[in-house]
Structure 1
Amino acid sequence: MRFSIRITSKAIEDIRKAAAYIREDLLNPVAADHLLDHVTERFSSLSDMPEIQQLAADPVLRDKGIRFITIDNYIAFYRIDNESRIVYVLRFQYGRRNWLDILRGDSAPAPDQPSSPSI
């Protein structure tokens, strides 16, 4: 049975900002569209086998079951809820950013997020 994919509001915002940066600051709308296509493809691939990707190396994130998938120069962080068969995409960050501090700072869920996908 396939997993459902749920993208948190923070991850959606991250993806929008990444695409906007590429489109508006780098003036490359084709690359921005290409990134969005890759995001869609890679997130869709998580539906079949979400556990194929590695757990985060950081012990705090690993203990919370946080996994990651690379998409071009970005890293998407997610957590699997096996009981409800849902993959929660938590954040989407540029690979060279200090994403560990960003993820560790996400200790409380946003109002529109259920408590289960918080990091």
Structure 2
Amino acid sequence: MTFEVELTEKADRDLRNIFLYIAFDLSAPENAERQINRLWDAILSLDELPERYRRYEDEPWHSRGMRVLPIDNFVILYIPYLEEKVVRIIAVMYGGRDIGEQLKKI
């Protein structure tokens, strides 16, 4: 069963900010491109078996079905909607951040 993968505006902004930070703040544009490609590959892989990653433990996100895909030093937070066959990417962030605090801003 193939799912459609959608990015929220926040997730799209997150990816752009990650690229800009690595490319310009860290002066590593090649690394930025490779990192974004790895993140995109992980995101697009969610079109198959999106429930294979663990559920986020804290409420209210747990009840909403949010899942966590770790990739390198980042996490991709997403919700699979099984009946609609859609995976919505909620956020992409550095894994060392306080995810709960960041989710309060959504």
Q: Which category of TM-score, normalised to the shorter sequence, fits these structures?
A: over 0.9
Measured on the aligned residues, the alpha-carbon RMSD in Å equals 1.0
* Alignment map for 1:1-119 (pairs within 5 Å): 1-106=1-106
Q: List alignment gaps of at least 5 residues for structure 2.
A: none
Structure 1 moving runs of 4+ over 6 Å? none
**Match for 2:88: what amino acid?**
Y
Identity of aligned residues (%): 28
Distance in 2 of aligned mates of 1:22 and 1:47: 27
> With structure 2 as the length reference, what TM-score do the two structures score?
0.94
Distance in 2 of aligned mates of 1:78 and 1:15: 14
Distance in 1 of aligned mates of 2:33 and 2:19: 7
Which moved further from structure 2: 40-49 or 57-66?
A: 57-66
**Match for 2:76: what amino acid?**
A
Once the two structures are TM-superposed, the CA of residue 104 in structure 1 deviates from its matched residue by: 2.5
Distance in 1 of aligned mates of 2:64 and 2:72: 25
Q: List alignment gaps of at least 5 residues for structure 1.
A: 107-119
Once the two structures are TM-superposed, the CA of residue 97 in structure 1 deviates from its matched residue by: 1.4
Aligned length: 106
